[in-house]
Chain A
Amino acid sequence: MEKVLLVDDEKEFLDTMAERMEARDMNVTTTTSPKEALKKAQEESYDAIILDLQMPEMDGLETLKELKKKNPDLQVILLTGHATVQKGVEAMKLGATDLLEKPADLKVLTEKIKKAHTRKMVLVQKKAEEKVRHILAEKGW
């Protein structure tokens, strides 16, 4: 079961999207506040964070930058009303996993979440292997 954090200032969008994603066996947490999203991302481990590009308090790119600063391995998918090439490039440079235009096709989004989940698992596994290698090297076995 994928664990997803959904961040968008449109509550109606969040409620509907969350219900649909939960029906597809995803564990969904929602928030309309980017600041709360940063807090939640520190407290919990998510397979993917779906982030709206334009929000009050902090815009999506700023939130993405903060999320990545705290955890570079986070898989963040951006949702936007208008996906301009410039925003897309900026988002990718900041480490976004993907960028989707609203209204998004849930099938496509679900696939991207699953890919993000796999990528996260690979990263977790790599880190565990590195840790073991480091211990082995230190102990000199």
Chain B
Amino acid sequence: MVDRTDVGNASELQYFGKMTASISHEIKNVMAIINESAGLLEDYSLMAEKGMAIDPERLKVVSDRVTMQIRRADRITKNLNNLAHSVDEFHKSIDLKETLALAVGLSGRFADMRSIRLEFQPPSDVPTVITSSFHLLNLIWRVLDFAMGMSGTEKMIGLTYDSDAESVKIRFTGLAAAPNAPEAIFPTAGEAVLLRILGATIQQDAKGGVITLVLPKDVRQQVKTDC
């Protein structure tokens, strides 16, 4: 018999697998560029050995290209490291801005594949939230995935938030206006488990093309209230 815990565990593993597979693919792309750049430098040195003059500007282009790819790889591995550490503690205090930036960073390649632009527009306020970081990342990915599938003509999904004393509201904008339909298909059982873990709720404004994720500032208080 499959219960909610099984659904949750499967979803967690699926999310982890999906993100790490995407990251490894991106690292391979970076390696391919560095590999060809090294090969190009080797070609230049062979040409120089044969007495051909090599324009220093060509060397600079290759050097800049490698530097850029190293920075890219650094960004990718930082995201991987942050994702890995998101499971260190079940409930911990997180910087919402950093966590959302990580969620967007991890989803970037999936957005590129769908020719969609993800725009994170954080306000100056940086709320601290006590929650399960890993499950929040998982839920944000699921909402983003759904939102990208429903994106409007601009092919842009925006992400922002605001907060009050008790909760934070994370808004996903840019969905195509589709009255009635989204509520029927979203959230699914997978999101429902995550919403329960996070003590969160989802509000949909189908006409406005907005999904709002309402998250308690301290999930432990929410659990106490529920008890």
| B113–A102 touching, CB < 8 Å | no
What residues of A have a CB within 8 angstroms of the CB of B113 in the complex?
54-56, 59
Q: Could you say which of B29, B37, B47, B62 contacts A10, with CB atoms under 8 Å apart?
A: B29
Question: What DSSP secondary structure best describes chain A's contact surface?
Answer: loop
| A81–B28 touching, CB < 8 Å | yes
Q: Could you say which of B24, B43, B114 contacts A20, with CB atoms under 8 Å apart?
A: B43
Measured CB to CB, the closest approach of chain B to A51, in angstroms, equals 14
| A102–B24 touching, CB < 8 Å | no
Interface: B39 (CB within 8 A)? yes
| A54–B69 touching, CB < 8 Å | no
What residues of B have a CB within 8 angstroms of the CB of A20 in the complex?
36, 39-40, 43
Interface: A136 (CB within 8 A)? no
C-alpha gap A14/B200 in the complex (Å) = 45
| A17–B36 touching, CB < 8 Å | yes
Measured CB to CB, the closest approach of chain B to A54, in angstroms, equals 7
Interface: A23 (CB within 8 A)? yes
| A103–B31 touching, CB < 8 Å | yes
- Closest B-chain residue to A12, C-beta based? B33
C-alpha gap A54/B28 in the complex (Å) = 12
Q: Could you say which of A13, A23, A55, A57 contacts B32, with CB atoms under 8 Å apart?
A: A13
C-alpha gap A13/B39 in the complex (Å) = 12
What residues of B have a CB within 8 angstroms of the CB of A82 in the complex?
21, 24-25, 28
What residues of B have a CB within 8 angstroms of the CB of A13 in the complex?
29, 32-33, 36
Q: How many residues on A have C-beta within 8 angstroms of the other chain's C-beta atoms? A: 20
What residues of A have a CB within 8 angstroms of the CB of B25 in the complex?
54, 81-82
C-alpha gap A13/B26 in the complex (Å) = 13
Given the interface pairs A17-B36, A20-B36, A104-B32, the reply to whether A81 lies near B24 with Cβ below 8 Å is: yes
| A102–B31 touching, CB < 8 Å | yes
Interface: A66 (CB within 8 A)? no
What residues of A have a CB within 8 angstroms of the CB of B77 in the complex?
none
Measured CB to CB, the closest approach of chain B to A79, in angstroms, equals 8
> What residues of chain A have their CB less than 8 Å away from a CB belonging to chain B?
9-10, 12-13, 16-17, 19-20, 23, 54-57, 59, 81-82, 102-104, 106
For this complex, 12 residue pairs linking A to B, each with C-beta atoms less than 8 Å apart, are A10-B29, A10-B32, A13-B33, A16-B65, A17-B36, A20-B43, A56-B113, A59-B113, A81-B25, A82-B21, A102-B28, A106-B36
Besides A12-B33, A12-B65, 18 other CB < 8 A contacts? A10-B29, A13-B36, A16-B39, A16-B40, A54-B113, A55-B113, A56-B113, A81-B26, A81-B28, A81-B29, A81-B32, A82-B28, A102-B29, A102-B31, A103-B35, A104-B32, A104-B35, A106-B39
Shortest 5 CB-CB contacts between residues of A and residues of B: A103-B35, A81-B28, A16-B36, A102-B32, A81-B25
